[in-house]
């Protein structure tokens, strides 16, 4: 420090004109690397150094360049925070959020900027965006950040903290406890995220408040084990939900377990014998679970997982991501990646895999169904007339269903190209399912209906459900049909179309699957947060 200070003082007497634009850029890149802030690359480095030199002369004791830069960056970020607050007061919330976002970009380590941006998102009801900002505070040195916040910005934060959440609690009290929780143990963040489903709150801050009130939770496998004395209301609510579901059910069923995750489970599947369950999350994680609810392994993809399937014997898992990657994992080898291909130019939307993983079928946004071999390479493709929202195939991979709006394409696999037929429907179709033997198929529509057909495409029954049908699945020989809807319900039907039971999850059910015998049903759900459900169905 002393040696550096000597050079700084000498620099005061030098002509700043010797710093050329090229040198200034190099210095900006160097400082950005050292401080870890990209904002420095676009900063006027010459003015920055001039100001630092002037301060260095005034200081009797050492004052590092890093400390000076941190002060400078904090000041620039706080100007955006102050501007954003003035806009917020005037009711210009869109412009306010943009100003707060600029503050976060300038100073990613400014914990107050993250919190205020999160609070602004939450006030608009954008809870997923709010949680992203709250999560980032877990990575920030809170003690250091607190020292850098100016009294003016602290006043702005206090104004926000004096507000109340939708569940009637002062924001400041809630967030102070949140600070304490993630400071003591950042790993508890996942626990906090998963907790929202049980207490059915409508605000992010409410999660933390309820956590603070309820005490400590411990996690075993994926099942949350809680003390009934501490969570009496929650237990009563969950118990009542199950009792009501059983009351309206014609056949008994049981919720075996519910596995909590920190983001929406967009897709799910179960092996033919029900021993293995897989779920794909919007945070890019693929969860592979035993039928006991214990996590066997998980795989982290680069983008959110939008579709997943498992071979009937549970040996392989295939998934596709929002970014267009298609991945095959060896589930018996701890989720080891067998291969990964970039199909972003095809924009995959859905995927299915056959019994021996030698056949994979994939639907795309670009009006195609692609048939992939065991190495992930395209063998043939089939043209559709619209966006492909879902695909399914028989266990042997010989019969494939693909839906596109009011058309269901039935493809019989051949070596060179499929034999195709089209079945047209009155309602737009969202999801399709075919029995492992190929003798029966079910369609889930956007108009809240489930349609069930035999192999001759004769409509055997139709049932109206509550909400758009996001996922549908058929057991062997068509004995049972399961579906999940946008209105938070999982339905279970018999072969004749009678509704045997339904279960209200309290949150959107994005996908369902069923075992070959129909004795197990898996469902994936969530909005911001997600769960995997496993039911004993008969």
Region 6-35: mean pLDDT is 63
pLDDT at site 227: 38
Task: With CA atoms as reference, report the closest residue to 513 among 429, 464, 444.
Answer: 444
Cα angle 98, 101, 107 (rounded to 5 degrees) comes to 145
Q: Residue 369 carries which DSSP code?
A: E
Alpha helices (H) along 163-278:
171-184, 188-199, 204-214, 232-247
Cα angle 393, 323, 388 (rounded to 5 degrees) comes to 35
pTM exceeding 0.85: no
Q: What does pLDDT average to over the chain?
A: 79
Instruction: Look up the CATH architecture of domain 256-376+520-538.
Output: 7 Propeller (2.130)
> Which is more confident, 330 or 144?
330
Q: Does domain 403-467 have CATH number 3.40.50?
A: no
120: exposed, middle or buried (C-beta count within 10 Å: 0-12, 13-18, 19+)? buried
Given a cut of 50, whether residue 87 has pLDDT beyond it is: yes
pLDDT at site 127: 66
- CA–CA gap between residue 475 and residue 514 (Å, rounded): 6
Structure tokens at 113: 């900027």
End-to-end CA distance of the chain: 74
pLDDT digits (tens, 9 = 90+) for 388-411: 999 999 999 999 999 998 999 999
Highest mean pLDDT, choosing among 21-30, 287-296, 310-319: 310-319
pLDDT digits (tens, 9 = 90+) for 419-449: 889 999 999 999 999 999 999 999 999 999 9
Q: pLDDT class for 214, splitting at 50, 70, 90?
A: very low
Highest mean pLDDT, choosing among 353-367, 406-420, 517-531: 353-367
| Segment among 166-180, 321-335, 342-356, 459-473 with least mean pLDDT | 166-180
Given a cut of 90, whether residue 219 has pLDDT beyond it is: no
Region 151-178: mean pLDDT is 60
Query: Percent helix, strand, coil in the chain (nearest 5)?
Result: 35, 35, 30
- CA–CA gap between residue 79 and residue 155 (Å, rounded): 14
Domain chopping of the chain, boundaries: 2-63, 256-376+520-538, 403-467
Q: 403-467: same fold as 256-376+520-538?
A: no
């Amino acid at each position: 420090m002393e040696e550096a200070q000597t050079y700084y003082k000498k620099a005061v007497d030098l002509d700043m004109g010797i710093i050329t634009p090229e040198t200034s850029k190099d210095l900006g890149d160097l400082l950005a690397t050292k401080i870890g802030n990209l904002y420095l690359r676009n900063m006027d480095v010459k003015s920055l150094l001039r100001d630092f030199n002037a301060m260095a002369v005034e200081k009797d004791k050492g004052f590092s360049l890093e400390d000076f830069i941190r002060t400078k960056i904090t000041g620039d970020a706080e100007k955006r925070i102050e501007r954003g607050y003035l806009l917020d007061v005037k009711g210009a919330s869109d412009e306010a959020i943009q100003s707060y976002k600029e503050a976060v970009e300038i100073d990613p380590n400014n914990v107050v900027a993250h919190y205020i941006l999160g609070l602004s998102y939450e006030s608009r009801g954008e809870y997923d965006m709010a949680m992203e900002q709250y999560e980032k505070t877990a990575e920030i040195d809170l003690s250091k950040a607190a020292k850098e916040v100016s009294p003016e910005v602290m006043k702005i934060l206090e104004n926000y903290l004096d507000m109340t959440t939708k569940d009637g609690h002062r924001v400041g009290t809630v967030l102070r406890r949140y600070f304490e929780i993630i400071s003591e143990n950042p790993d508890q963040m996942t626990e906090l995220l998963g907790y929202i489903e049980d207490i059915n709150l409508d605000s992010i801050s409410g999660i933390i408040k309820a956590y603070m009130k309820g005490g400590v939770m411990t996690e075993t496998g994926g099942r949350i084990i809680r003390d009934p004395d501490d969570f009496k209301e929650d237990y009563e609510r969950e118990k009542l939900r199950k009792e009501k579901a059983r009351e309206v059910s014609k056949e008994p069923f049981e919720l075996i377990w519910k596995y909590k995750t920190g983001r929406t489970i967009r897709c799910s599947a179960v092996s033919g014998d029900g021993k293995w369950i897989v779920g794909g999350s919007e945070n890019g994680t693929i969860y592979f679970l035993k039928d006991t609810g214990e996590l066997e392994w998980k795989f982290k993809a680069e983008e959110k997982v939008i579709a997943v399937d498992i071979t009937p014997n549970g040996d392989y898992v295939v998934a596709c991501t929002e970014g267009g990657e298609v991945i095959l994992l060896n589930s018996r080898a701890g989720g080891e990646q067998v291969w990964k291909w970039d199909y972003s130019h095809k924009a995959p939307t859905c995927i299915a895999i056959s019994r021996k993983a030698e056949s994979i079928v994939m639907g795309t946004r670009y009006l195609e169904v692609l048939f992939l071999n065991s190495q992930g390479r395209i063998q043939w493709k089939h043209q559709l007339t619209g966006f492909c929202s879902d695909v399914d195939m028989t266990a042997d991979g010989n019969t494939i269903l693909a839906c596109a709006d009011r058309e269901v394409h039935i493809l019989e696999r051949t070596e060179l190209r499929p034999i195709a037929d089209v079945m047209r429907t009155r309602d737009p179709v969202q999801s399709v399912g075919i029995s492992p033997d190929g003798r029966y198929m079910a369609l889930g529509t956007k108009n809240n209906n489930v349609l069930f057909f035999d192999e001759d495409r004769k409509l055997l029954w139709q049932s109206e459900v509550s909400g758009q049908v996001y996922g549908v699945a058929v057991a062997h020989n068509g004995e049972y049909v399961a579906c999940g809807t946008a209105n938070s319900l999982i339905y279970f039907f018999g072969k004749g179309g009678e509704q045997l039971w339904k279960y209200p999850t309290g949150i959107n059910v994005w996908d369902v699957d069923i075992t070959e015998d129909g004795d197990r049903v898996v469902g994936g759900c969530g909005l911001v947060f997600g769960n995997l459900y496993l039911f004993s169905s008969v």
